[in-house]
Amino acid sequence: MNVLGLNAWHADAAAALLVDGRLVAAAEEERFRRVKHWAGFPSEAAGWCLREAGLDLGDLDVVAVNRDPRANLWRKTAYALRHRPDRRLVRERLRNARRIMGMEEELGRVAPAGRPFDGRIRNVEHHRAHQASSFLVAPFSEAVLFSVDGFGDFSSASWGVGRGANMRLDGRVYFPHSLGIFYLAMTQYLGFPKYGDEYKVMGLAPYGKPTQLDAMRRVVSSEPAGEFRLNLEYFRHHREDLGYRWEGGEPTVDVHYTDALIDLLGPARMPGMELDPRHLDVARSAQARFEEVILEMLRSIHPRYGLDAVVVSGGGAMNSVANGKVTRETPFSRIFAPPAPGDAGGAIGAALVAWTETTGGARPDPMLHSSYGPGYGRDRLEAAIRDAGGPLEAAGCDVREAEGEAALCREVAARIADGEVLGWFQGRMEVGPRALGNRSILCDPRRPDMRDVINAKIKLRESFRPFAPSILREAMGEWFEVDDDVPFMMKVYEIREEKRALIPAVTHVDGTGRPHTVRPEANPLYHRLIRTFEERTGVPMVLNTSFNENEPIVNRPEEALDCFLRTEMDTLVLGPFVVTKPRPA
């Protein structure tokens, strides 16, 4: 049975393909279109998934979409009758629903040369898709389900229980109340206007103090049974069309907060304005309130099920700081977040729901890695290097092939230890927002100046944002306070105090780090490289950041070469090929 899952007509459009219950391909549209968070119909990603499996549309049994306009319909109708929102808002919601329900026309553009699609369209309720994307690939077969996001199908949070391949959703928080909207509004207030900028607030928060926490509790109040409500005085989303633009390009969203928030917190920061202590304190207070609500909800949910494991999903599960506090501050002793917990991962979740419901099949094997995107063989790598011959020659670059994996790892480990900024392009591209050892930029975590070096040479990003380490799984407990498996870099933990001075480039201002644990069975070459670096330096980790420069993570080798040439990266490793720039005199 072949199932194509889609996140369509929304930001982070994506596609995923299951063949007989096995995930064989998954990718975000942005990686093909080269526009961050690309919104619309994921025709490029869907077409690639089919080509990767040697299928055409006529081979698909089901196309599953992570939206169901019929879900919670009576609540939508009742809300509209009671509150009479802006007609433009209603028109936009209806137009989006028609797109979701009218999928066949768009599918015809994905692979027009093949047989037409004659299978079934399955609309999967948004939060059910979120939870499937986490629970059905988790390393435990019984867990509490918990999802938090902006909105999807009229709800912003849900919880329930999963056993085997079965999931039951028992509760929800409905529109207009949303932790995702709260965090978005605070992100915009702090002068970060682009879609997806919430991670900047999370990185900024440790620099401030929670002086505005009481004010945040007025903005988001706690309710009985651990739930929450927004004080709608501070928000616009429930009554106005805020101009969500999801069609064929970069997603944009209008300001969500009202003047009442300015009256409460003071003037909003304009983009580009210098950050002052008040902004830092607002960031810390917003993050603290988000954590408070999440942890209160989980503490309330735990006794209903009596399970020690929880799986998290939705855009809220991208808050790795909150994830890292779950096992310390709630009764749950295990937590799992997938590589793509947000809307892109809904494509995987929708496909999994359709497959398990249709076949009654067992749950898939646990997900060990996130490398389900395009990969490129030796011939393609050689062709890309050959086609870039003129620019490489003009830059004085040397191109050689390493003599086997061991020699490659020794050379790369030496270059990293020598302070180089190195591009690492191997295997299949990762799905999700994190580069996890296949499309990465690697550096020495021991160098206190490395953050500034990377930002100056390549990333051109805010100095307050931390960098993360990829660490050997077997070394995690020696370097971090928690000996946990973090295969997808979705949790923040405290670095052991005695180790922090040894790895300043990946230690945030509050002594934490966002680890990526690497197992040999998940990524043998990357594990071997880090092991080789440890043998050379005594440190079982490397600094790992995504291979890009204010753009989507590179997909094709041509994009890797272009990024390498236009930045001050020192070395690029494309498969077995090592491309180096001349060292400065």
Asked if residue 561 is part of any domain, the answer here is yes
Give yes or no: residues 408 and 557 share one domain. Answer: yes
Of the given ranges (9-13, 55-59, 175-179, 248-252), which has the lowest mean pLDDT? 248-252
Asked if residue 141 is part of any domain, the answer here is no
pLDDT of residue 83: 67
Give yes or no: residues 15 and 124 share one domain. Answer: yes
Give yes or no: residues 409 and 446 share one domain. Answer: yes
- Host domain of residue 202: 150-336
What is the crossing angle of helices 405-417 and 524-537, to 10°?
A: 50
Asked if residue 30 is part of any domain, the answer here is yes
pLDDT of residue 509: 96
pLDDT of residue 58: 94
Q: What is the pLDDT of residues 109-148, one digit of tens each?
A: 887 677 889 999 999 999 999 999 999 999 999 999 999 9
Residue 90 has pLDDT above 60, yes or no: no
Q: What is the mean pLDDT of the chain?
A: 94
Residue 74 has pLDDT above 80, yes or no: no
Give yes or no: residues 501 and 556 share one domain. Answer: yes
Give yes or no: residues 398 and 329 share one domain. Answer: no
Give yes or no: residues 541 and 499 share one domain. Answer: yes
Asked if residue 140 is part of any domain, the answer here is no
Asked if residue 317 is part of any domain, the answer here is yes
pLDDT of residue 89: 59
pLDDT of residue 410: 98
Pick the residue with more confidence: 443 or 223? 443
- Cα dist from 372 to 132, 141, 273, 391, 555, whole Å: 17, 22, 40, 31, 12
pLDDT of residue 110: 84
Residue 98 has pLDDT above 70, yes or no: no
Give yes or no: residues 499 and 535 share one domain. Answer: yes
Residue 427 has pLDDT above 60, yes or no: yes
pLDDT of residue 361: 73
- pLDDT band with cut points at 50, 70 and 90 for residue 243: low
Percent of the chain with pLDDT strictly greater than 90: 84
Give yes or no: residues 88 and 161 share one domain. Answer: no
CATH of the domain at 161: 3.30.420.40
Asked if residue 92 is part of any domain, the answer here is yes
Give yes or no: residues 391 and 350 share one domain. Answer: no
Asked if residue 292 is part of any domain, the answer here is yes
Average pLDDT over residues 310-316: 98
Nearest to 546 by CA among 561, 528, 560: 560
Name the pairing type of β-strands 166-174 and 220-222.
unpaired
Give yes or no: residues 173 and 114 share one domain. Answer: no
Q: What is the pLDDT of residues 488-497, one digit of tens each?
A: 999 999 999 9
- Alpha-carbon distance of 547 to 563, in angstroms, equals 8
Asked if residue 373 is part of any domain, the answer here is no
Give yes or no: residues 330 and 266 share one domain. Answer: yes
Q: Give the residue carrying structure tokens 């109708």.
A: 77
Nearest to 510 by CA among 202, 87, 169: 202
pLDDT of residue 448: 95
Residue 86 has pLDDT above 70, yes or no: no
- pLDDT band with cut points at 50, 70 and 90 for residue 477: very high
- pLDDT band with cut points at 50, 70 and 90 for residue 95: low
Taking the model in full, what pTM does it have? 0.95
Q: Give the residue carrying structure tokens 């086997």.
A: 404
Number of domains composing the chain: 3
pLDDT of residue 517: 98
Average pLDDT over residues 422-450: 97
Average pLDDT over residues 526-543: 98
Residue 99 has pLDDT above 70, yes or no: no
Q: What is the pLDDT of residues 157-167, one digit of tens each?
A: 999 999 999 99
Average pLDDT over residues 233-243: 85
CATH of the domain at 390: 3.90.870.20
- Strand ranges (E), 137-177: 142-152, 155-163, 166-174
Give yes or no: residues 220 and 350 share one domain. Answer: no
pLDDT of residue 532: 98
Average pLDDT over residues 341-361: 94
Extract the tokens encoding 395.
Answer: 């830059």
End-to-end CA distance of the chain: 60
